[in-house]
Amino acid sequence: KWNTDNTLTTEVTMEDQLAKGLKLALDTSFVPNTGKKSAKLKTGYKRDYLNLGCDLDFDMSGPTVHAAAVLGYEGWIAGYQLAFDTSKSKLTQNNFAFGYKAGDFQLHTSVNDGTEFGGSVYQKVNGKLETAVSLAWTAGSNNTRFGIGAKYQLDKDATLSTKVNNACLVGVGYTQTLRPGVKLTLSALVDGKNVNGGGHKVGMGFELEA
């Protein structure tokens, strides 16, 4: 491929040839103007309860290793992701996530680089109402971030959603299906700490689906 950025790229992929569920790919790029070259070797392996991936990103400074693994069983799921810069012998990413789903209930937690912590809970209360709560904080900081949201099905063609976070930002959205494949969305974001001061945001969007 040759794109408008004057970059030449190639991609070679092999899937289910050496083993079922195994995918190998090689991506290369070359910029004629600067002479910059790069290559990425990607591997992936998928089974019913397992998903593994390992990429080698080659550049002038040295390869970077990206690896990830996801395990799932009967509603439980756990994942781990890392990135290792071989030129600096340094682990640049170290992320872990855990989740659980049972019927209309979902739980998700994550830890990024041992300093960023997050969690969320989703509950479908009934056929019309959905609710969710999210929480995040950084180690060594007193700044805890949280948000609460809800979505209500007014009728078969209209939904109303709302959310509020710890910064007192209140969001409201209304979506109306005008006809099959056509939706209209109206939204607003209000600063609850400064209701009379202005600076609020409103939006409108159309969604067309053929």
Query: What digits encode the pLDDT tens for the residues 125-140?
Result: 998 999 999 999 998 8
73 band by pLDDT with thresholds 50, 70 and 90? very high
CA 149 → CA 132, 135, 169, distances in Å? 5, 12, 12
**Phi, psi angles (nearest 5°) of residue 197:** -90, -5
Our measurement of the distance from residue 93's CA atom to the centroid of its chain's CA atoms, rounded to an integer in Å, reads: 16
Coil, strand, or helix at residue 196?
helix
DSSP 197: G
141 band by pLDDT with thresholds 50, 70 and 90? confident
Tokens of 74: 């009967």
- Between 65 and 3, residue with greater pLDDT: 65
With a pLDDT cut of 70, the percent of the chain lying above it is 100
C-alpha dihedral sign at 76, 42, 31, 2 = negative
* Residue with the two structure tokens 């790229």: 9
**Nearest of 169, 175, 195 to residue 187 by alpha carbon:** 175
> How many angstroms separate the CA atoms of 63 and 84, rounded?
9
User: Which range has the worst mean pLDDT, 5-19, 149-163, 178-192?
Assistant: 5-19
Tokens of 49: 């309860």
76 band by pLDDT with thresholds 50, 70 and 90? very high
| Residue 193 pLDDT | 83
**Nearest of 163, 198, 205, 203 to residue 183 by alpha carbon:** 205
* Model confidence, pTM: 0.73
- Assess whether pLDDT exceeds 90 at residue 31: no
34 band by pLDDT with thresholds 50, 70 and 90? confident
For all residues of the chain together, what is the average pLDDT?
91
- Between 3 and 94, residue with greater pLDDT: 94
Strand segments, DSSP code E, in 32-168 are 36-47, 50-58, 64-73, 76-85, 90-102, 105-112, 116-124, 129-138, 145-155, 158-165
Contact (Cβ atoms closer than 8 angstroms) between residue 133 and residue 147: yes
| Residue 177 pLDDT | 94
